[in-house]
A and B are shown apart, each in its own frame.
Chain A
Amino acid sequence: MPDVFNAEDKEPKRSRVQNLKKSVAASEALQNAQERGGSRLSAFCAMPESVEFDIQHADEPVLMLLRQHPIVNVPWIVITIFLVLLPIVLPVFSFISFLPANFRFVSVLGWYLFVFGYAIQNFVLWFYNVYLITDERIIDIDFFSLIFKHISEAKIEHIQDITFTNTNLAQSLFDYGDVRIQTAAEIPQLDFEKVPHPDLVSKFLSEMMDQEEQEKLDGRVR
């Protein structure tokens, strides 16, 4: 009996490295971003090495890792330095001078413990609040006040509109801003807040959308 329909064999699954190479080749913005470098502590890191996340697929490479621009850390760093120097510069513990020396010693220790805790908390929250762009999805990982964790994601094929804004002088000066991504997914909007080079991020996402569109036309959607 003759076959009525024969489905073509699907393209073999590509590895993570192959997907990464394909994305680099297809994206000019990613190549530009790669030239800007970026260490593990950087707020703008293209194709970061050894970055993985818990809901990552086996063949899904991380193409871009973004954090808020380091300038957002300035207020808590200034406060930390101020709090560290305060007991040295001003006699802030003079109001407990009537207490025995061991009480005063413990007060100073307690002061520096709080300052240390304050600095660590702010640093950790900045470091782990990240935005990830893979070849399939955009992911927003948020930790609020060390207790709440919130992860939102949207497939690149569901992105409908991308806008970026530099709203004030500091943002224009240091080249950071918000990238607003509207999607047709369950979460209608994802905001990449205060990320460096919002124009480049926006351009990269547009290229990824085009690439996804092309893959859809070629029937290569994963």
Chain B
Amino acid sequence: MNSAFQFVFDPNSAFIFSSTFLLWLLKILALVGFGVYVVFALVMVRQISLMTRTLKTGLELFMTVLGLAHLVFAVLVWFFVFLILP
């Protein structure tokens, strides 16, 4: 375990300069970035729900579906990052 840790984080290790490490780092960054975006999409769904409660126009369903579609898209992209990136 200790040797694996040293292999990854030791500045003298060959792994830190390898493409595997860079791709791994990119995947972590992408997961964090898209994770933050999923939170933003959740805030948007919450806000649309608040807006539809404040003002009823007959288009509540359309607006809610729009917000949810955005959230689903964001979650799907996050899963893509999690599953298909090496």
- Interface size class for chain A? 20 to 34
Chain B residues within 8 Å of chain A by Cβ, number = 33
Known contacts: A143-B47, A146-B47. The answer to whether A40 contacts B57 by CB under 8 A is yes
Task: Give the number of A-B contacts (CB < 8 Å).
Answer: 90
Give 1 or 0 for each of A89-127: 1 = CB within 8 Å of chain B CB: 000000000011011011001100110110011011001
- Decide yes or no whether A51 CB sits under 8 A from chain B: yes
Cα(A13)–Cα(B54), bound, Å: 26
Chain B residues positioned under 8 Å from A123 (CB to CB): 66
Tell whether, in the assembled complex, residue B43 and residue A52 are in contact, meaning their CB atoms are under 8 Å apart. Answer: no
Known contacts: A120-B67, A147-B47. The answer to whether A54 contacts B54 by CB under 8 A is yes
The contact of B55 among A121, A128, A147, by CB within 8 Å, is A128
Tell whether, in the assembled complex, residue B59 and residue A109 are in contact, meaning their CB atoms are under 8 Å apart. Answer: no
Binding site for A on B (CB under 8 A): 23, 26, 30, 33-34, 37, 40-41, 43-44, 47-48, 50-51, 53-59, 63, 66-67, 70, 73-74, 77, 80-81, 84-86
Binding site for B on A (CB under 8 A): 40-41, 48-54, 99-100, 102-103, 105-106, 109-110, 113-114, 116-117, 120-121, 123-124, 127-128, 130, 141, 143, 146-147, 149, 151
